[in-house]
Chains A and B, each alone.
Chain A
């Protein structure tokens, strides 16, 4: 099972190495990892997608919380979250295929960000399933190159419940 774990970390050198090292040492599987700044210059946010059963993921959460430079850890399991990936993908696009590909891009609400003589670079954002579907749709034309950010996620507003982040 995939779990999305969100960790607020101190913006200090070595934090990423610590997280990566802990995952390797404890044989946990990372599906994706996205790191970026937050509104607070002292803090970054890591969004980690982990594959494992509930016990494994509970250990992941607890072991992350033990790292001194990690301030808060949250497992989004069972919560209503918005989860998004961003992808840039370059697809072969000879002139005669342009209308077809253009239609595809519109259908996915994606965006053309660069055009070459025989290729087109597309920016797609959305839930992972949408990204996967777009990749599948592009395959017949020939994918030249692609890059993905990994999932970022945030819990939706729920009336009467404060979003809970743990630090055990």
Chain B
């Protein structure tokens, strides 16, 4: 059959849905997550023949967390798709999670036909209106020619500066419309400028302050990981001889097996980190935002310290704490320049004080009792993986124990919902991380209540043969809530205990492996079995029900006023 040559005057055309897929491929997308529905069918039809791998979750929230964790594990942009109305509203928790933790994400939502918008059409929701405060940027496409440039802009905005989720709402008629094929143009965003290079004068002021400091502390947040600046951080800490403490989001930025690590600070941070911050004469914040879970009572936070704040987001600076030396720009460049400018210092006295705090107040728990301590399970997991596994969590006590007892060694190793604290993040995030790291060990250390929220994604793990391991810290409580009720509401455990299913049986029903562990003596073997498992699995550890997370700075107290420092010394 011979093909008619097209007349030279008419430019080639293709449907909007094809433009979307081609632009995604052009942006380097290899895998996407998402769910179907009427107004995204044209798009899915074109995905059918595309080289992009597609993972279907069992709920759009799960899909969004998967894309988010894929992004956190790789540093690349995660992509999620949902249909209009309920599909889009199901994304919101995932978008807000990504927004709070500055995760680069592009969400594509279908929308009803352009001429129906505003008419309360079937499955219509004002998606851009709903998601405006939980995205870095969002836009609805009303001209099919804008599809390609809008997608390019979305990837650019999502992944640069302080990253975040960008949502593109695409009415179904935009997907169907025939669009002339045009060569890719340059992204032009007059309202979007990022300062990457730190101001030289600010950098030398910071270097001077570091050289002068007797008792400095580096306070490191997730921004260092985002910026890919862990090596630069290490170089600075080594050259200037600075102790390093990390936020929950910053864990992995600095090897916790290094003696200069003070581990995590804040509400459930280590005593030695919090004491060091309260006693320091210079606090060097890098890619961190002085969150209230970190600072405790703001007025008494780091009372003796001069403050340097390095951040790519100018709005983060002086938002909560007055900063003497702000440096706006990329942590990677700035830390490298700072390292060149600082001088080696010994600070023997300061490190001796820190060592004494470490000796006096290590993280600890009762190892003697007969029940399974949650910390023991996590410590055992840490020991048997040599601290090298990718660890994902839900939200609650188990998340804090993970932050305390799994000692992280490298960036992007710890994946957890920090800013929003989203229960149910664990399993879908583990799936996203496993997609990003095929063949590597990914463990979701989850809480029973958190797991209950999204455990339907076990289906997804089974379907795509993703051997994620769920290490369930099952205390039969919303443990973190119960702890607050114990401490602040006179042990009145109002509504914080739920009847759980037999998680091992649930796992098996989904086609995964399920094992229940109730005996302390079995923990070590069970962990070994879990790590050796080649299929998705749930290991349900029935732990001591009323164990608490210590130490703790109760909300509103100063960072050094920690409870629970001495409770194990009686034994």
A78 at the interface (CB under 8 A from B): no
Report the interface size class on chain B.
Answer: 20 to 34
CB distance from A51 to the nearest CB of B (A): 19
Known: A14-B128, A17-B132. A62 touches B314 (CB 8 A): yes
Q: Are B318 and A68 in contact (CB under 8 A)?
A: no
Top 5 closest A-B pairs, CB basis?
Answer: A62-B315, A168-B314, A71-B191, A68-B137, A71-B190
> Digit string of B98-141 for contact with A (CB within 8 Å is 1, else 0)?
00000000000000000000000000000011001100111110
A90 at the interface (CB under 8 A from B): no
* Interface size of A in residues (CB-CB distance below 8 Å): 23
Q: In the assembled complex, which residues on chain B have CB atoms less than 8 Å from the CB atom of A22?
A: 133
Question: How far, in angstroms, from A59 to B313 measured CA to CA in the complex?
Answer: 12
A151 at the interface (CB under 8 A from B): no
Residues of B within 8 A of A (CB): 128-129, 132-133, 136-140, 157, 189-193, 195, 313-315, 318-319, 328
Complex A-B: 22 CB contacts under 8 Å: A10-B190, A14-B128, A14-B132, A14-B138, A14-B139, A14-B140, A18-B132, A21-B132, A22-B133, A25-B133, A59-B319, A62-B314, A62-B315, A63-B315, A65-B314, A66-B315, A67-B191, A68-B157, A68-B189, A167-B193, A168-B315, A168-B328
CB distance from A53 to the nearest CB of B (A): 12
Q: In the assembled complex, which residues on chain A have CB atoms less than 8 Å from the CB atom of B129?
A: 17
Q: Are B193 and A58 in contact (CB under 8 A)?
A: no
Q: In the assembled complex, which residues on chain B have CB atoms less than 8 Å from the CB atom of A58?
A: 318
Question: How far, in angstroms, from A22 to B138 measured CA to CA in the complex?
Answer: 14
Instruction: Give the tally of cross-chain contacts (CB within 8 A).
Output: 45
A70 at the interface (CB under 8 A from B): yes
Interface residues of A in 8-26 (CB under 8 A from B): 9-10, 13-14, 17-18, 21-22, 25
CB distance from A37 to the nearest CB of B (A): 16
Q: Are A68 and B191 in contact (CB under 8 A)?
A: yes
Given A68-B189, A168-B314, A168-B328, 17 more A-B residue pairs with CB atoms under 8 Å apart are A10-B191, A14-B138, A17-B129, A18-B132, A21-B133, A22-B133, A55-B318, A58-B318, A65-B314, A65-B315, A66-B313, A67-B191, A68-B136, A69-B191, A71-B190, A167-B193, A168-B193
Interface residues of A in 70-125 (CB under 8 A from B): 70-71
Q: In the assembled complex, which residues on chain A have CB atoms less than 8 Å from the CB atom of B313?
A: 66
CB distance from B26 to the nearest CB of A (A): 21
